Amino acid sequence: MASPRTSRLTGFYKLGVLERRRRLLELAGLPADGFAAVDPGALTLDVADGMIENVVGTYALPFSVAANFIVDDIETLIPMAIEEPSVVAASSNAARMARPRGFTTTLTAPVMIGQIQVTHIADVEAGAAALRGAATELLAEARRLVPRLAERGGGPVAFDVRILAREGVDGGVAVAHLHVDCRDAMGANLVNTLCEALAERVARIAGGRAGLRILSNLTDGRTVTVRCTIDDAMLASADAAGPDVRRAIAAASRFAELDPYRAATHNKGIMNGVDAVLVATGQDWRAVEAGAHAYASLSGTYGPLAVWKERPSGDGLEGVLTMPLAVGTVGGALHVHPGARLALELAGAHSADRLAALCGAAGLATNLAALRALATEGIQRGHMALHARGLARAAGATGDLVDRVAAELAATGDVKVDRAREVLARLAGAAVVKETP
Ligand code: MEV
């Protein structure tokens, strides 16, 4: 799909599901049955049975679109699959604040690391030196094993060695790292195949025994950096002036830099956005999670993946996120999962780089939204309002009764499903009585 004319979906949340679909179909130029891919049953039992073992059903999540994103000057719809209320609304709201300049991204080459562990090396220094000496030859062999990847401009690009232990239960231990540019593939299969193919030769050269051969999920050679600036005027809320919100968000960011307990929650807010896009687009989100948290600890202390600082000009905030993002637009579940293909289409993400950029932008947006809420009215008011709508629906409310029941629950602060049923019974009864002549 070409990028939509705009991602500014004013009033979108007020429409019914079918109306929303109609609007997106038109905007994104999708075929009329485009959303059949996320209808119940679109992932058939047969296909699901071929994906994993012991299948007894399929499992659904809400599929949604976050609005207002401009990423690298391109209007972009951000598909999200997530069970948590308020993530989609919050990220759309943050993206609206960032709209004047949008999000800008820079990416490293999509280089993954494969590890070959070698144990029981008698002289680990000599073993490592021998491996370093054979690097060119080993790289050439690795390249020969993946000719098609090389034709697409990727392939093995570097080989290095780290000494892990000089002695101990496993004797001298070293690990060889094969760095592979995976282009648009996430690359797990590719890298694992290469490591398995090279392992015996690597162990022989080092004078030890081949141990594990597997990619590392700490993909610090495959990162995305996302930046945005937000003007004070955008930060202001009903009860707080822009400069106050700016100062409070910068202070919240420093809190995450000082305290791993806070940094974990700060990063959870980032992963709310990142994971929602990963799940919608059929990615291995566990791999990205593992990489993100390992990366956040690389300095020796767990820290935030994104930081916010007051702009030197004194007006507004600058946010910067850097994190590893190993994603793919070919291979994996994408061959078979209809919803994942639709999500990539909606996002206009035809390369792994673009998809990683969008995940990073979604993460920076959810982080900003969380910090702004925490720094002003707190997270619960907005959360509860959305939760109340969910409970109103669960209690059986439809149409405008959803908002009326939710408003009453939120106003009393008693946001429980039993209470929603009571309120619904009263309001629905009143509605019936009113209609009776
Ligand atoms: C909740 O899902 C995410 C937050 O806890 C993130 C944060 O505290 O920054 C609100």
CATH number of the structural domain spanning residue 254: 3.90.770.10
Q: Which residues of the chain have pLDDT under 70?
A: 1-2, 431-437
Whichever domain contains 162, its CATH number is: 3.30.70.420
The reply to whether 202 falls in a domain is yes
- 387 and 367 in a single domain? The answer is no
Burial of 60 (0-12, 13-18, 19+ CB in 10 A): middle
In a domain, 129, yes or no: yes
The binding-site residues of ligand 1, defined as CB within 6 angstroms of any ligand atom, are 84, 265-266, 268-269, 272, 370-371, 374, 379
In a domain, 332, yes or no: yes
Q: What is the pLDDT of residue 145?
A: 97
168 and 70 fall within a common domain: no
| Last residue in a domain, options 376, 394, 414 | 376
User: Are 251 and 314 in a shared domain?
Assistant: yes
315 and 367 part of one domain: yes
Instruction: Please check whether residue 366 lies inside any domain of the structure.
Output: yes
| Cα-to-centroid distance, 86 and ligand 1 (Å) | 11
Domain match, 207 and 163 both: yes
Chain-centre distance for alpha carbon 413: 32
Beta bridge partners of 75: 70
160, 239: one domain: no
Q: Which of 216, 241, 269 is the last residue of a domain?
A: 216
Looking at the structure, tell me whether residues 166 and 289 fall in a common domain: no
> Residue 363 and residue 324: Cα distance in Å, rounded?
12
pLDDT recorded at residue 277:
98
| 36 located within any domain | no
Is residue 190 domain-shared with residue 159, that is, in the same domain? Answer: yes
Burial letters for 82-112: b for 16+ Cβ neighbours within 10 Å, e otherwise? beebbbbbbbbbbbbbbbeebbbbebbebbb
From 216, 245, 265, the end of a domain falls on 216
Angle (CA) 420 425 428, round 5°: 110
For ligand 1, mutation pick of 265, 307, 387 (most atoms within 8 Å of CB): 265
For residues 166 and 194, membership in a common domain is answered with: yes
Kindly state whether residue 18 falls inside one of the protein's structural domains: yes
Residues taking part in catalysis: 84, 268, 284, 383
Domain count, the chain: 3
229 within some domain: yes
* Cα-to-centroid distance, 268 and ligand 1 (Å): 6
35 inside domain: no
Residue whose C-alpha is closest to residue 424's, from 397, 399, 400, 398: 397
Same domain, 244 and 97: yes
At 44-65, the pLDDT tens digits run 999 999 999 999 999 999 999 9
Residues 242 and 362 in one domain: yes
Q: Do 118 and 173 have their domain in common?
A: yes
**Ligand 1 centre distance from Cα of residue 283 (Å):** 23
Residue of 80, 93, 266 best suited for mutating to test ligand 1, as the one with most atoms within 8 Å of CB:
266
- Give me the domain span that covers residue 387: 381-435
